[in-house]
């Protein structure tokens, strides 16, 4: 058995693609089905290109059903988790693009954000936690994560 992908339904494909680009997660393939009226976009983390080529990296499948727009209950999905080289830099880039940091990296190790469709995304610092610094160490949680 091999883990292939995680599918999440999205209500606005372009908004979701822009969000994942901010996390350095990019489109690797796309399938459109006009008869069934849906688009599937498969995403991979930057740095996993060789693994994707060899079908050894799990993907994120964004499913955009053209006639459906409202999906709720994103939190009951759980979350996607990504290891990052510099959690502070990633969170700063997200904040600069008006993404709410639901659980800031106060510990230099872990943060949570949500996609435009309210899917929780966990960011974990690669290796040891970074030294505690402002503004992260003082920043409170916002909403649920």
Give pairs for 63-66: CB < 8 Å, separation 24+: 63/7, 63/8, 63/9, 63/10, 63/38, 63/39, 64/9, 64/10, 64/11, 64/13, 64/16, 64/38, 64/39, 64/40, 65/9, 65/37, 65/38, 66/37, 66/38, 66/39
pLDDT band at 75 (very low <50, low <70, confident <90, very high): very low
Whether pTM > 0.95 for this model: the answer is no
pLDDT digits (tens, 9 = 90+) for 27-72: 999 999 999 999 999 999 988 888 888 878 888 989 898 988 776 6
Q: Catalytic: which of 15, 49, 122, 138?
A: 122
Annotation says 49 is catalytic: no
Q: Which domains does the chain have, with CATH numbers?
A: 1-67 (3.10.180.10), 74-145 (3.10.180.10)
């Amino acid at each position: 058995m091999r883990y292939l992908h995680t599918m999440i339904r999205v209500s606005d494909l372009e908004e979701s693609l822009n969000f994942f680009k901010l996390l350095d997660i990019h489109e690797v393939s796309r399938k459109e089905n006009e008869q069934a009226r849906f688009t599937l976009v498969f995403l991979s983390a930057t740095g996993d290109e060789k693994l994707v080529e060899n079908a050894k990296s799990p993907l994120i499948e964004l499913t955009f059903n053209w006639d459906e727009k409202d999906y709720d209950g994103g939190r009951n999905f759980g979350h996607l988790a990504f290891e990052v080289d510099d959690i502070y830099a990633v969170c700063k880039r997200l904040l600069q693009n008006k993404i709410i940091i639901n659980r800031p990296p106060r510990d230099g190790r872990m943060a949570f954000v949500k996609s435009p469709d309210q899917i929780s995304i966990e960011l974990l610092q690669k290796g040891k936690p970074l030294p505690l610094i402002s503004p992260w160490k003082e920043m409170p949680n916002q909403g649920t994560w």
